[in-house]
Structure 1
């Protein structure tokens, strides 16, 4: 039965039903993305001729099947996605989905991409799931924790790691071109000059590795809600902190900073918002 939306938080049983739906969405969409991964495919450009924002048939097919399943299970829920028009944006429950976060990596045959499935309850990120179908890795939030399943069948709880400060932190971002010349590039430059090591190319996978305790800081700019909504509950319930550069809630996207350690997050925000 569909859940009736209301102002109070869902019951534990309702939460389990919603989480089961998120897992089902990932299971349904995964074969559609793998059908195209590392195969010849046509690539469309959603941006102007002077820019490049790629989309493939895999993006569209995966989002379409997820939208159909959400509508079948929860007709009153809204859906915010990357490839099709938003629906039910005033609903108390709104699914926020990105069928392939990291399309550039996807079309290059790199496994640094993932499927993002988030659920907002009113204005709060309620649950999140990130799935990497090729490596068979999955990361998701429960009500008060975050969990993983690796390709070898290993499962466990995600926990961020402690970090003494920026000087010992490992930083990740998808690409330096994310940061516009001026304030954004200068802010990222200040962070990069302080940390121990920086790696590029992570997309959503970097946030999962932060939640798993393998890196300390992710700094990005220009994100959309579908790029980040699913990752917020995973990081926060693994013990991390994620906000905008100004320290505001991250669910609307924008310039984002995530850290596994609150001290590192505070240091990063101080530099980025300077």
Structure 2
């Protein structure tokens, strides 16, 4: 039997997620949670830094030759080689306000392409994972099962999720936001990691973000594509590191891009 190429890396990524979950669940709702502001005015908690430090320590032992890039401690992905891309807590604002929608995002990028992705949302009771050639999976109260995108083929029948309007006004355009949501049957703003995971599950059909960082969507790219969907930036480039993101079931991608370009 030939094992998929990234089986061992995916197994390691799930162990990293286990370590992260132990830290985040212990600090979620803690009365002594420490919160600071980064230069861009976004919040960072002691849990964010503790998770990234713990994952980096494990990687230093398990994959000493791999690079690491994380939201809190820095680092960059290169065009060649292997880089682990980390978001210790995606949804920090939710985390510090006591809302359960947050997750640790772990991706392995090889030669510029995400090849392993794990999204662990312990308070939601869900963990999504994927690796190139291995499909996309979720673990929830029903156990672990394979997931796939929806078969909706028309925007007028599509369920789209976006981020808040303010980010579109500043980084893209209000008109593009309204055009996309108006073209679809239903819209919500699940935001952050969750909307891309919902696309991979087939629960919704499109997710669009006007501004993202590489660590926000590297894991989502491999998850969505392994679920049979398509991932790009808002201009159609199949990249996680171009500052925006559009994930879809594939059938709707070109139509959505066409609306955004208009």
Is 1:146 aligned to residue 136 of structure 2? yes
Q: In structure 2, how many angstroms separate the alpha carbons of the residues matched to 1:38 and 1:168?
A: 39
SS at match of 2:69: strand
Q: Which sections of structure 2, spanning at least 5 residues, go unmatched?
A: none
SS at match of 1:155: strand
Partner of 1:16: 7
Q: Alpha-carbon deviations, 1:131-155, whole Å to 9, x = none?
A: 01112311111333111100x2421
Q: Which sections of structure 1, spanning at least 5 residues, go unmatched?
A: 1-10
Q: In structure 2, how many angstroms separate the alpha carbons of the residues matched to 1:231 and 1:257?
A: 10
Partner of 2:43: 54
Is 1:86 aligned to residue 75 of structure 2? yes
Partner of 2:16: 25
CA gap of 1:181–1:96, structure 2 versus 1, over 3 A, is: closer
CA gap of 1:266–1:71, structure 2 versus 1, over 3 A, is: same
Q: Find 2:35's aligned residue among 43, 52, 69.
A: 43
Which is worse superposed, 52-61 or 30-39?
A: 30-39
Partner of 1:97: 86
Give 1:45 shift.
1.0
Give 1:263 shift.
2.8
Is 1:166 aligned to residue 140 of structure 2? no
Q: In structure 1, how many angstroms separate the alpha carbons of the residues matched to 2:189 and 2:239?
A: 21
4+ long deviations beyond 3 Å:
11-14, 87-91
Is 1:71 aligned to residue 60 of structure 2? yes
Give 1:210 shift.
1.0
Q: Verify the 8 A CA contact 1:168 1:195 in the aligned structure 2.
A: yes
SS at match of 1:248: coil
Q: Verify the 8 A CA contact 2:115 2:131 in the aligned structure 1.
A: no
Q: Verify the 8 A CA contact 1:210 1:259 in the aligned structure 2.
A: yes
Q: Alpha-carbon deviations, 1:108-160, whole Å to 9, x = none?
A: 2111111110001111111111001112311111333111100x242110100
Partner of 2:251: 263
Give 1:14 shift.
5.4
Give 1:182 shift.
8.0
Q: Verify the 8 A CA contact 1:227 1:253 in the aligned structure 2.
A: no
CA gap of 1:14–1:265, structure 2 versus 1, over 3 A, is: closer
CA gap of 1:58–1:267, structure 2 versus 1, over 3 A, is: same
CA gap of 1:12–1:122, structure 2 versus 1, over 3 A, is: farther
Give 1:89 shift.
4.6
